Chains A and B, each alone.
Chain A
Amino acid sequence: AQTVTQSQPEMSVQEAETVTLSCTYDTSESDYYLFWYKQPPSRQMILVIRQEAYKQQNATENRFSVNFQKAAKSFSLKISDSQLGDAAMYFCAYRSAKGGSNYQLIWGAGTKLIIKP
């Protein structure tokens, strides 16, 4: 069974600086998808960025980028120029690309990101 581990329960960063959130996962599959979701105090789950495992190029969305290391099964999220609105829980999630169970998202426990003004 696949697992997702986020080893940092909480991280803090000064506004305008860069922070990296860690995520590792365990799977025997070669084809899958990885996601970072943001959950602000409103509790709405917002997709930040996603990565297809077959793509070597790291995904980027404006200030958000990932460092995808497939061999190491690592998928970290880098937030550049941190803003107060980035404060939230961040969840890493895995989804198999294999038919039959590819609708289940497997979630990490989350990292609480605090932005210091």
Chain B
Amino acid sequence: NAGVMQNPRHLVRRRGQEARLRCSPMKGHSHVYWYRQLPEEGLKFMVYLQKENIIDESGMPKERFSAEFPKEGPSILRIQQVVRGDSAAYFCASSQRPLAGNNLQFFGPGTRLTVL
């Protein structure tokens, strides 16, 4: 069974370019969560999506960042006009059901974004 997959693992962009980060959840999982990890820090929640719906984007910057999880295909985190401060590791997690009780999110290996 494949786990949560993220690609690319490493992404280099110049300031002003767009970054697209992909996340394929575990098979049978329809809930996806994106987190950002800045250097020397823990993860920070960004957005929670179900298929075709954004449930909570309270952790996502209001500008330049967007996320989607279409009916078919991976979830995409899109960052437009990247700046150096966007350099971070971006993690995706998935769950089979809405998180309740002690069921878990399963994490992908992350995408390291470097903005030159």
- Residues on A lying within 8 angstroms of B by beta carbon are 4, 6, 33, 42-47, 50, 52, 91, 93, 95, 97, 99, 101-110
Contacting pair B105 A105 (CB below 8 A): yes
Q: Which of A4, A102, A107, A108 has the most CB of B within 10 A?
A: A107
Of all chain A residues, which has the CB nearest B42? A107
Contact of A103 among B40, B89, B99, B110 (CB under 8 A): B99
Q: Do A47 and B45 touch (CB < 8 A)?
A: no
Nearest neighbor of A95 in chain B, beta-carbon distance: B99
- A50 near B42 with CB under 8 A, answer no
Chain A residues, CB < 8 A from B101: 97
Distance (whole angstroms) from the CB of B89 to the closest CB of chain A: 6
CA distance A103 to B56 in the complex (A): 10
Given contacts A42-B109, A43-B110, A44-B109, contact A105 B43 (CB under 8 A): yes
CB–CB B33/A103 < 8 A: yes
Contact of B42 among A33, A42, A110 (CB under 8 A): A110
| Closest A residue by C-beta to B48 | A103
- Is B22 on the interface with A (CB-CB < 8 A)? no
| A109-B110 contact given A33-B102, A102-B100, A103-B99, CB 8 Å threshold | no
CB interface residues, B 80-116, toward A, < 8 Å:
89, 91, 93, 95, 98-102, 104-105, 107, 109-110, 112
Whether B41 is near chain A, meaning CB under 8 Å from some CB there, is: yes
Complex CA–CA separation, A92 to B29 (angstroms): 25
